[in-house]
Copies of this chain bind each other. A is one copy, B any other.
Amino acid sequence: MRPFDDTYFMKMALAEAALAAGEGETPVGAVLVCNDGIIARAHNQTERLNDPTAHAEMLAITSATNLLGAKYLTGCALYVTVEPCVMCAGAIAWAQVRTLIYGAPDLKRGFRKYAPLSLHPKTIVKSGVMEEECAGLMTAFFRSLR
């Protein structure tokens, strides 16, 4: 039995996404994991901070590098509920995150469309972890705006 698997950490990212939804933010959540321990949790705060750069991934990376006192996250895994955008993919590349695991694809704004080669060449990417739950939060949020 392995309690700390991809599903476990994606559930933590989903809990962050749910917090975002409750605050009227686009429901994306992220956690950064190092040696099976969560070192940063964040959710989208672009509305609260009036800052278009305040995506969950950016906040998690800034928080984790601050905690570790290091610019690189080469031993870390980033769990994020939705495929990162170009900006976040660029940040993930600079931080040299070892593994990127995301839930739902973002066909409109995801990095795979605009910058498929932007990640660090050593970064491993997994997708589709709890995809339905991750996408469901986004669908419900955008439906509520209409």
- Give residues in A with beta carbon < 8 Å to B: 46-47, 49-54, 58, 61-62, 65-66, 69-72, 85-91, 93-95, 111, 114-115, 117-118
Q: Least Cβ distance of A110 to chain B in Å? A: 11
CB atoms of B53 and A61 under 8 A apart:
yes
Q: State A85–B45 Cα separation when bound (angstroms).
A: 23
Instruction: Give the contacting residue for A90; candidates B49, B50, B89, B117; CB below 8 A.
Output: B89
Q: Which residues of B sit under 8 angstroms from A66, Cβ to Cβ?
A: 49-51
| Alpha-carbon gap, A71 to B51, bound state (A) | 5
The CA-CA distance from A88 to B73 in the complex, in Å, is: 19
A68's nearest neighbour on chain B, judged by CB, is B50
Which of B88, B91, B114 is within 8 Å of A115, CB to CB? B114
Q: List 27 A-B contacts (CB under 8 A).
A: A46-B71, A47-B71, A51-B61, A51-B65, A51-B71, A52-B71, A52-B72, A52-B94, A53-B53, A53-B58, A53-B62, A53-B91, A53-B94, A53-B95, A86-B86, A86-B89, A86-B90, A86-B93, A86-B115, A86-B118, A87-B87, A87-B91, A87-B94, A90-B90, A90-B115, A114-B115, A114-B118
Task: Report the Cα distance A24→B52, complex, angstroms.
Answer: 28
Chain B residue numbers with a CB within 8 Å of A62 are 51, 53-54
Q: Least Cβ distance of A82 to chain B in Å?
A: 14
A72 CA / B52 CA spacing, docked (Å): 7
